[in-house]
Every structure is written in structure tokens, then in C-alpha cells.
């Protein structure tokens, strides 16, 4: 028995055409949606880059000021131990530096918070100056991206225990018990007739300050307070990194 095969007529192609149109429209919509997501992601990444750069810039500005402060304290004989631990006045321009770097990345700083003490931290929030742009998602043409970042200063040096002062040598000059009564046998006490000084009185020399000693990542440093400019580089004293 022979099978009869159905021959497609003109009406079949007409029924398939709307399906093709719908499929193409769906793919086009999906592509535009993915493009909008990509635009939003790129804007968000730009905001995060600006926040990271601004937070790091603020921390580095503060770190540089800490080194200057440490140098001045050692040279002036002031307390320097806390500064080595990161506790110091630092820079009042840290947030100004953050704003400059944010602007370089086309963003504005909306908040800048500095927390002192051990491991000073700098939290910066930014908002992009540009928007996501036009897309199939309503409202993206006026939508800005926002991001936050926190940078931290971590001391890399620790103080070495101070060396004990050397034991003073005995005074070679005789004491009053070992000398005579000053009478030379002729009734004279041996003193100067003119009442002048015996020439032994000299101004006391100021003792030299002991060296400042500490170790940075296992490398020992000994700094002469009279030459504090021999301090290590600021990157050897403090590290700056983004907080986890």
C-alpha cells in the first residue's frame, strides 16, 4: 500500500512567520537586557575603583605625615613610641586627598571617616558623576552608582627593649675624708688669697641621647637622635592596604 505524503501549502509558511518574529524579538530583548546589566555593572565597578583609590590615598597621606611626626619626635627628644605604633596626629588633609583621587576617577566623595588609634582606618563613600545611561530598564538614565571602601594603616615596626645605662665609673677625686684639714703647717688653710675659683669647676656636658632602636619585618634599625633623617622609608615603617 502506498503512503500519501502531505505537501505543504502556502498557508504553512504563513503560520511559521509569526513564530520567527517572536523568537527574534525575544532574542533582541534579551540582548538589550544583558547590555543594560553590563552598563550597570560597569558603572558599579567604576564607583568601586574610585572608592578604593580614594580610601588608599587618604591612608597614604596620613602615613606620610606619621613619618614626619616620628622624625620630629626623635630629633626633639620627645616620646616617639606611640607614633611608631601608628598613634599620632597624622595629616588633617587625608580626606582632601581622598576627594582629589575620587574626582580623578569621575566620582565625588559623599562621606570620609577617619578612625585613629592602633591601625588607623579610613572609610570613604563615593558617588559617580556619570549615570548608567539609557537602556530598556526605565530610570537608568538618571541612576548613579555608589560604593564604599576602607583602607588601613598597619605598623611594620616594633620597639626593641632598651639597653640598661652603663654603670658609672667611680670618681677619681679624693673625698673629704681622705684629705688633710687644709692647714699647710703655717696657719694657712691653703685657699686662694684672692678668693678666686680653683679652676676645677667646668660646665657639665649634656649626655648624649641613646640611639632609638626598633625592628621592621625582622630588619633592625638604630637611629641616632642627632641624625633622625636616617629613618627608613615610610613604606618600611607602615603598610597601607584595603581592609577585608
Q: What tens digit of pLDDT does each residue of 95-119 get?
A: 999 999 999 999 999 999 998 777 8
What total of structural domains would you count in the chain? 1
Contacts for 241 with CB less than 8 Å, ≥ 6 apart:
151, 152, 154
Q: What tens digit of pLDDT does each residue of 58-88 get?
A: 999 999 999 999 988 888 878 888 888 888 8
C-alpha–C-alpha distance, residues 237 and 65, integer Å:
12
Domain-embedded: residue 110: yes
- Residue 94 in this model has a pLDDT that exceeds 90: yes
Domain-embedded: residue 2: no
- The answer to whether the beta carbons of residues 128 and 106 sit under 8 Å apart is yes
β partners of residue 108: 127
Q: What tens digit of pLDDT does each residue of 156-211 get?
A: 998 876 554 444 445 555 555 544 454 554 555 544 555 444 555 555 666 677 78
- Residue 91 in this model has a pLDDT that exceeds 70: yes
- Is 31 or 185 the better-scoring residue by pLDDT? 31
Percent of the chain with pLDDT over 70: 59
Mean pLDDT of 201-230: 77
Domain-embedded: residue 182: no
**pLDDT for the residue 118:** 78
**pLDDT for the residue 61:** 95
| Residue 5 confidence class, pLDDT cut points 50, 70, 90 | low
Instruction: Give the domain range for residue 24.
Output: 20-162+211-243
- Residue 33 in this model has a pLDDT that exceeds 70: no
Contacts for 163 with CB less than 8 Å, ≥ 6 apart:
210, 213
Domain-embedded: residue 175: no
Q: Tell me how long the chain is.
A: 244
Domain-embedded: residue 14: no
Amino acid at each position: 500500500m502506498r503512503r500519501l505524503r502531505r505537501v505543504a501549502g502556502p498557508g504553512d509558511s504563513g503560520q511559521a512567520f509569526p513564530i520567527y518574529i517572536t523568537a527574534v524579538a525575544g532574542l533582541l530583548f534579551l540582548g538589550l537586557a544583558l547590555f543594560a546589566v553590563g552598563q550597570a555593572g560597569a558603572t558599579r565597578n567604576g564607583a568601586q575603583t574610585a572608592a578604593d583609590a580614594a580610601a588608599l590615598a587618604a591612608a597614604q597621606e596620613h602615613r606620610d605625615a606619621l613619618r614626619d611626626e616620628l622624625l620630629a619626635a626623635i630629633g626633639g627628644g620627645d616620646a616617639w613610641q606611640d607614633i611608631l605604633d601608628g598613634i599620632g596626629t597624622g595629616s588633617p588633609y587625608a580626606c582632601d586627598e581622598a576627594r582629589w583621587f575620587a574626582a580623578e576617577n569621575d566620582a565625588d566623595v559623599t562621606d570620609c571617616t577617619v578612625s585613629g588609634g592602633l591601625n588607623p582606618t579610613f572609610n570613604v563613600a563615593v558617588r559617580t558623576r556619570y549615570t548608567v545611561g539609557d537602556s530598556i530598564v526605565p530610570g537608568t538614565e538618571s541612576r548613579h552608582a555608589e560604593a564604599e571602601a576602607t583602607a588601613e594603616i598597619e605598623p611594620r615596626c616594633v620597639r626593641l627593649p632598651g639597653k640598661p645605662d652603663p654603670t658609672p665609673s667611680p670618681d677619681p677625686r679624693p673625698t673629704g675624708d681622705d684629705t688633710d684639714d687644709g692647714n699647710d703647717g703655717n696657719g694657712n688653710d691653703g685657699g686662694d688669697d684672692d678668693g678666686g675659683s680653683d679652676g676645677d669647676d667646668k660646665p657639665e656636658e649634656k649626655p648624649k641621647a641613646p640611639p632609638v632602636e626598633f625592628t621592621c619585618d625582622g630588619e633592625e634599625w638604630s637611629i641616632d637622635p642627632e641624625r633622625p633623617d636616617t629613618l627608613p622609608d615610610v613604606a618600611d615603617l607602615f603598610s597601607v592596604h584595603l581592609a577585608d
